[in-house]
Amino acid sequence: MTVLPITIWGEPVLHRRAAEVEEFDDGLRQLIADMFETNDMANGVGLAAPQIGVGKRIFVYKFENEDGAPPAGVVVNPVLTLSKVSGALPDPDEEVEGCLSFPGGQYPLKRAEWVRVQGFDGHGKPVDFEATGWFARIIQHEYDHLDGKLYVNRLIDRYARKAMKQAKKSGWGVPGLTWMPGVDPDPFGH
pTM assigned to the model: 0.96
Chain centroid to CA 164: how far?
A: 19
Which tens digit of pLDDT belongs to each residue from 51-63?
A: 999 999 999 999 9
Q: Considering the chain, what is the average pLDDT of its residues?
A: 97
Residue 104 lies in a domain: yes
141 annotated ligand-binding residue: yes
Residue 1 belongs to a domain: no
Of 11, 37, 97, 142, the active-site residue reads: 142
User: What's the CA gap between 42 and 102, in Å, rounded?
Assistant: 13
Mean pLDDT of 158-168: 97
Q: What is the pLDDT at residue 1?
A: 82
Domain range for residue 129?
Answer: 6-179
Residue 188 lies in a domain: no
Residue 35: inside a domain: yes
15 is in an annotated binding site: no
168: Cβ–Cβ under 8 A, 6 or more apart, which residues?
Answer: none
Q: Which of 91, 92, 21, 32 is nearest to 62 (CA)?
A: 32
Q: Is residue 187 part of a domain?
A: no
The number of domains in the chain is 1
What is the CATH classification number for the domain harbouring 166?
3.90.45.10
Q: Is residue 66 annotated as part of the catalytic site, yes or no?
A: no
Q: Is residue 146 part of a domain?
A: yes
pLDDT at 189 over 90: no
Q: What is the pLDDT of residues 142-153, one digit of tens each?
A: 999 999 999 999
